[in-house]
Structure 1
Amino acid sequence: MKLKHGKMRKMMAVSLSATLALGLLAGCTGTKAPESKQEKVLRIGVMYGSTDDSYFRQQYTDIYEYDRKNVKIEIVPAIDQSEWRYNDGSDFKEPDYLESMKKIMTGSNPVDIIMTDTSSLKQLIQENMLKQLDPLIQEDKFDTSDFVPAVIDGIKDLGEGSIYALTPTFTSSALYYNKKIFADAGVEPPTDKMTWDDMLNLAKRVAKGSGKDRTYGFSFERYRGNDLFWGMQYTYMAPLQLRTYDEKAETMTVNSPQWVKAWDTLSTLVKEQVIPNNSDYSFEEPWTPVSNDMFLSGKVAMVISESNYVNEIAETNANAAKIKDYTPIDWDVVTVPVHPEKPDIGGNVYLSSTFAINNNAPNPESAWDYIKFITGEDWAKLKSRSNSYEMIARKSYLQPRQGQSYNLEAFYALKPVPPANPKDDKLKQEKRGLYSVENIGRNYLQEVLENKKSVTEALKDWAEKGNKMLQEIKLNPKIEFQEDGTPYLPETHEG
């Protein structure tokens, strides 16, 4: 999933949250712990950080420390980012993220809480390193029924039905559509949980025009020059969990009926100009604030984008009079399309801020009190007033942004795509050539789009080339490759 302008918007949201915090704290009594004068130190482990932890504190801990005056929070990064900044590269080794997290969870001074993404979380659950939260939830009658399905069901799936973590926020995507384009074409608009095939058939019906006046039916991204290859991989194919190579990184798996169907379906629509391709774009058109955005400029009827795109559409429409030849977009959203085999999964739902209790936590009671606070109603109420790119995990405090009216449920009706296996990430860290094995697929897709090869031929050739590369990696794990898949040979310098 890709979040444009995410960091800038996130920092603005932090400032707003900090401003509102003091005014709302008087009402933050629903999860307040018994008063205690004894100072406690609560240590929270994060994946990476530096000496400046102000952003994390503003976002997640300042309000809690204000309300729990006897608690002092320490932020403990598993990976110190200064190692990257001040390393000249001569002896740099990319850290093992999961192993780094395990180190701060064990030893003589383990952290009480960890905040991590779902990929690492799943592995830590499997290794019995996290405390199951269900008994604590039941004992305190902590309400989880208000969490949106995308969040609570996704978390339960990680724990095979049990809850090992909670999160206050999530990010997601939906299918945005231009109402006017559909109305003008006399075509019914898309609906929630529509299959990919049905949505793409709608795209065919609304695509029209030629050259610079072409209106496309669908795009994986809103920006011109978007990457079809990765759009296919991470949006269309991700719910099906199709692998490029096996779990041992020894054999290619792309030469299969499912891969053939995916490539054949989407490459055909590119050739028919239902889906835009890089070669279709004209960058000679006059620049406007919306010219690079295919949805806002009316060049595409449907596009997948993240939830904070709502803010950008509202802002653009509000400034329509300042933009030459721009007509405000009349739009709405539905869920990202689904595959019949996985009818409830999709939407690029991402749980990046899951909080869990370390099984070795010195202060498990304080850790649970913190998680209740940060995922409780009072915190949700506070954060619901900001326009962060993240969405509130509690339904009661989710509301359309900028005072608009749209199908908000589209962003949270589907379950997240199951996280990647952390072992895959570790393999790529150890064998950097694996990135090239995946990336050369783009070359073969381009040959399909240029009618140089059939889909079957292209995937067969990718599998053969990839198998050779995998064997070279097996013999030499440090080997890297050029764009065409040939081994990379470092330049030598004489003298």
Structure 2
Amino acid sequence: MTMMRKRGWASLGMAALLLVGAGCGTKSSEAPPETGKPSQPEQLAPVSLTLFKEDNGVSAETVEQLIRNKFPQVTLKVIKSGKGTMIDEVVASGETPDIISYSLGGLWKLKDLQLLSDLTPLIQTHKFDLNRFVDGVVDTVRSYSDNGAFLVMPFELNNNALFYNKDIFDKAGVGYPQDGMTWDQVYDLAKKLVRMDGNVQVNGFHYNFLNVIYKNQLALPFVDAKTNKAAVNNDAWAQWVKVMTAFYTIPGNQPPVDEKTAFLKNQTLAMRTGPNYITELAASNLNWDLVSFPSFSGSSLTGTQMNAPYYAIPPASKNKDAAFQVISYLMSDEVATELARQGRIPIVKSEAVRKEFGKGIAGLEHKNLAAFFKDTIAKPAPQTKFDGAAKSAFNAMIVSMLGGGKDTNTALRELEETVNKQIEQELRR
């Protein structure tokens, strides 16, 4: 949830957690064992480990319980990110975590704090099979380093989909969306759905701005990694902006304060895109379904950028080997299966794991959950430490354009100037 969202998993029953712990180390009857399987975690000697957990992905309570159930020989100290316990404050106090769970938006912060180490030697020692990951994960992780180091271990995906309100479509007499649509097709569909229903304005389509910006499908960089200059004022980004702002030129399709609330609670929005939040949808009274995330017409790029929370091991940890064995367990198919059942999108390609997605949540039995897996991982865009500020400025630019006050060329030129000033200020610090 940066976009990394909170769906909470702390409510998972103890019985399920114990089942996960008991299952580790046994061979699955549904699939042959993976090659290069990590060393058995029960070989771990008694050790004290400190886990720093940001509020992202799986809850701190769940991760803690998983570790304690599987490794009773581990004395575990958990530090949750919060007021007075932010990662920089923890480090400044002299504490060195052995494992850090963090979101992608903080990657460069951890780099600056020198809290990321290359996991490659540990991966090789413990024969951790990187081929277990969905295609694109390994390349994306290696793109975070200048020399191809494997700095973090992402543990779940944040795939996108297009969600729709079936009742609004039915009332308008319009056919439902389908998998494989383009943004242009969604635009045409949205125009048919905008109307006044009594005194209520019904909108056709809205999206979470930051989510589509951070995970842009065209693999476009925000900053040139070689020159440290803004890379946003060009034809490729102009195409993106024209397509993604066109929806708000539809009369009556003005963006609400919160598109998620408009869709989920008020039920006045026909379609929205965004990350996975099926636990909330399943608990609502909304008559909904989903299809795959739309793509750009004429582009072969259909997937979105990976935005996954991850585990990391700081270079200063004195227990790297034990920390990696714990992470290996948290990345196991057994744990991934139980997480998938609770609605978390698995980062492993195992069909046995993926087919369990959402099965632990009532109300999803006839939903098109396969749509999430059609959002493949796009070719990674070059990353820089200035991307966070650039993306925020990009988001502000999009919002400023919705009233029709600026044309695309003017908006991108002003954005370029803003981003370059931000970079210059950062470099002077």
1:372 corresponds in structure 2 to 328
Counterparts in 2 of 1:166 and 1:260: CA distance versus 1, 3 Å: closer
Task: Name the CA distance, whole Å, in 1 between partners of 2:46 and 2:54.
Answer: 26
2:303 pairs, out of 341, 345, 349, with 345
Q: Does 1:65 align with 2:68?
A: yes
Matched, 1:406 2:380: no
Matching residue's letter, 1:189: Y
- Indicate whether 1:333 and 2:290 are aligned: yes
Percent of residue pairs identical: 20
Q: 2:418 is matched with which residue?
A: 466
Q: 1:334 to 1:255 in 2, by over 3 A?
A: same
Residue 409 of structure 2 is matched in structure 1 by: 456
Cα distance change, pair 158–120 in 1 and its aligned pair in 2 (3 A): farther
Q: CA deviation at 1:218?
A: 1.1
Cα deviation for residue 219 of structure 1 reads 0.9
Tell me the equivalent position of 1:423: 385
Task: Render the CA deviation track for 1:266-290: whole Å, top value 9, x for unaligned.
Answer: 44432323742359x9xxxxxxxx9
Give the residue type in structure 2 aligned to 1:402. Answer: A
Find runs of 4+ consecutive structure 1 residues off by over 6 angstroms.
Answer: 1-4
Q: Partners in 2 of 1:476 and 1:159 — Cα distance?
A: 25
Q: Report the secondary structure of 1:277's partner residue.
A: coil
Aligned partners of 1:176 and 1:333 also within 8 Å: yes
Q: State the 1:220 CA deviation.
A: 0.8
Q: Secondary structure at the residue paired with 2:179?
A: coil
Which of 130, 135, 139 aligns to 2:118? It is: 130
SS of 2:204 mapped into structure 1: strand
How big is the shift at 1:81? 4.3
Q: Is the 8 A contact 1:155 1:165 kept in 2?
A: no
How do 1:175-194 residues align onto structure 2 when only pairs under 5 Å count? 175-182=162-169, 187-194=174-181
Code of the aligned partner of 2:49: L
Q: Distance in 2 between matches of 1:20 and 1:82?
A: 33
Letter in 2 for 1:67: K
Separation in structure 1 between the aligned mates of residue 42 and residue 412 of structure 2, nearest angstrom: 63
Determine if contact 2:2/2:104 at 8 Å carries over to the other structure.
no
Equivalent position to 1:277, from 255, 273, 289: 255
In structure 2, stretches of 5+ residues that fail to align are 27-38, 348-352
Q: Does the aligned pair in 2 maintain the 1:246–1:253 contact within 8 Å?
A: yes
Structure 1 residue 80: Cα displacement: 8.0
Counterpart residue number, 1:489: none
The C-alpha deviation readout for 1:115-157, integer Å capped at 9, x for no partner, is 3334666896x999312265356x47x5954x5x3xx532442
* Cα 1:398/1:197, change in 2 over 3 Å: same
Structure 1, 247-256 or 375-384: larger mean CA deviation? 247-256
- Does the 8 Å CA contact 1:391/1:398 hold for their aligned counterparts? yes
Cα distance in structure 1, aligned partners of 2:188 and 2:374: 23
Sort the Cα spacing of 1:358 and 1:204 in 2 relative to 1 into closer, same or farther, 3 A: same
| Alignment deviations for residues 388-425 of structure 1 (CA, whole Å, 9 cap, x no partner) | xx444442432343242212122233244647835116
1:313 aligns with 2:281: yes
Contact 1:242 1:259 in 2 (8 A): no
Q: Which residue of 2 aligns with 1:355?
A: 311
Q: Secondary structure at the match of 1:14?
A: coil
Distance 1:134 1:306, change over 3 A: same
Deviation at 1:376, TM superposition (A): 1.3
Q: Which amino acid aligns with 1:398?
A: F
- Return 5+ residue gaps in structure 1 as ranges: 50-54, 85-94, 222-227, 282-289, 318-327, 429-433, 479-495
Aligned to 2:141: 158
Distance 1:457 1:215, change over 3 A: same
* 8 A Cα contact 1:296 1:313, kept in partner: no
**TM-score w.r.t. structure 1 length?**
0.62
Q: 1:205 and 1:216 mapped to 2: Cα distance? A: 10
Select which of 186, 190, 198 maps to 2:185.
198
8 A Cα contact 1:295 1:303, kept in partner: no
Q: Residue 371 of structure 1: SS of its match in structure 2?
A: helix
Question: CA distance change for structure 1 residues 408 and 257 in 2, over 3 Å: closer, same or farther?
Answer: same
The letter of the residue matching 1:158 is V
- What's the offset of the Cα at 1:367? 3.0
Letter in 1 for 2:301: P
Distance 1:63 1:197, change over 3 A: same
Q: Report the equivalent of 2:354.
A: 395
State how many pairs are aligned: 399
Q: Which residue of 2 aligns with 1:302?
A: 271
What residue is the counterpart of 1:484 in the other structure?
Answer: none
RMSD: 4.9
Structure 1 residues 33 and 464, CA, compared in 2 at 3 Å: closer, same or farther? Answer: closer
Please state if 1:14 is matched with 2:7: no
Say if 1:216 and 1:301, in contact at 8 Å, map to a contact too.
Answer: yes
Cα distance in 1, alignment partners of residues 314 and 21 from structure 2: 28
Which residue in the other structure is 1:486 paired with? none
Measured after TM superposition, the shift of residue 24 of structure 1 is: 5.3
Cα deviation 1:424-448 (Å, max 9, x = unaligned): 168x5xxxxx7996576367515xx
1:96 deviation in Å?
Answer: 6.8
